[in-house]
Amino acid sequence: MIDFGAMTNALVACDADKITGLVNDALAAGTPAADILNKGLIAGMDIVGEKMESGDMFIPEVLMAAQVMGSCVEILKPMLGEDDDVSPGSVIIGTVKGDLHDIGKNLVAMMMESAGLEVHNLGVDIAPESFVEEIKKKNAQIVCLSALLTTTMPAMKQTVDAIVESGLRDQVKIMVGGAPVTQAFADEIGADGFSADAGSASKMAKSFAAD
C-alpha cells in the first residue's frame, strides 16, 4: 500500500531526498504516475498554499517546496505522457505592459504548475494584444494578469478590454493580482477573480479549471 500521506508530509517539509525516494518507490511498485501527482504531490502543495495563506509558511519555504515538487514532476513526466487528461486546464500568466516585476508572478505560476495546471508564463511587460494572441494559440481557459505598480494597473483594464473586443471573453476566466490590486479594482475592470497571494490564486485557478 503506497503511503501518499508520507509524500505529502515530505513535500511540506521540503525534504527533497525523502520525497524523491518515495516517488521512485511508488513508481517501482507500479503506482500510476497520475496518482502520485494528484494524491501525493498536488495534495502536498495544497497544504503549502493553505500554510502560506495563514502565515505559517513564508515565500522562501514555498519556493523551496515548489522546487522540490518540480524535481518530482520531472521524474514523473515520462510516465505522465502516457496518461490522458493529466492537466485540468491551460493558464496564461504575465505581468502587464509597462511593468517589469517578476517574482510574485513567477511564484503564482509555480504554485499553479504544482496544482497540476498547464501554465504558460509569458514574462513581463506584456501588451494586451500579446495576451489575446496567446489565448488563441494555447486555447487557454484562464488568464492571470499581474501588476506591481499603481501606474501599470490601467494596463490590466486595457488587457481585459482587448480580450472582450477579440470575442474571447466567454472562453476565459480572468484573474488579477499584485500589491496595489484589490477586489474592488478587479470588479471595476470586469475580472472574474482577485487573489492576494500565490496559494489562494492557485486554489482559485483550480476551481475555475474544474468548472
Specify the CATH number for the domain of residue 50.
1.10.1240.10
Q: Any idea what the CATH number is for the domain that residue 137 is in? A: 3.40.50.280
Tell whether 131 and 190 lie within a shared domain.
yes
What confidence tier does 4 reach under pLDDT thresholds 50, 70, 90?
A: very high
- Nearest to 19, CA basis, from 40, 33, 50: 40
Q: Would you place residue 48 in the very low, low, confident or very high pLDDT band (cuts 50, 70, 90)?
A: very high
Q: Please choose, from the candidates 141, 84, 81, the residue with its C-alpha nearest in 3D space to the C-alpha of residue 117.
A: 141
Q: Are 106 and 190 in a shared domain?
A: yes
Cell match 531526498: residue?
Answer: 17
Residues 154 and 189 in one domain: yes
Residue 71 domain boundaries = 4-80
Quote the DSSP letter at residue 14.
T
| 81 has pLDDT over 70 | no
Regarding whether 100 and 64 lie in a shared domain, the answer is no
Residues 111, 187: one domain?
Answer: yes
190 and 96 belong to one structural domain: yes
Q: Does one domain contain both 65 and 120?
A: no
What is the spatial distance between Cα 149 and Cα 135, in angstroms, rounded to a whole number?
A: 24
Distances (CA, A) of 85 to 34, 89, 91, 118: 10, 9, 15, 11
The verdict on residue 85 lying in a domain is no
What one-letter code names the amino acid at 101? H
For the chain, what is the domain count?
Answer: 2
Among 80, 103, 136, the domain boundary falls at 80
pLDDT of residue 82: 58
Q: How many C-beta atoms surround the C-beta of residue 201 within 10 A?
A: 28
Based on the domain organization, do 143 and 64 belong to the same domain? no
Helix (H, G, I), strand (E, B) or coil at 13: coil
Domain boundary among 57, 80, 103: 80
Task: Please check whether residues 96 and 58 belong to one and the same domain.
Answer: no
119 alpha carbon, distance to own chain's centre = 7
User: At residue 103, does pLDDT exceed 90?
Assistant: no
H helices, E strands: number in the chain: 10, 5
Same domain, 116 and 143: yes
pLDDT in tens, 114-154: 888 999 999 999 999 999 999 999 999 999 999 999 999 99
Q: Which helix (H) or strand (E) element contains residue 140? A: none
Domain identity same for 59 and 116: no
Strands 173-177 and 193-194: parallel
Residue 205 lies in a domain: yes
**Grid cell listed for 194:** 482577485
Residue ending a domain, among 36, 60, 80, is: 80
- Global pTM reads 0.81
Q: Which of 133, 125, 130, 138 is nearest to 91 (CA)?
A: 138
Which pLDDT score, from 0 to 100, does residue 2 have? Answer: 87
**Residue 36 backbone dihedrals phi, psi, to 5 degrees:** -60, -45
Same domain, 45 and 113: no
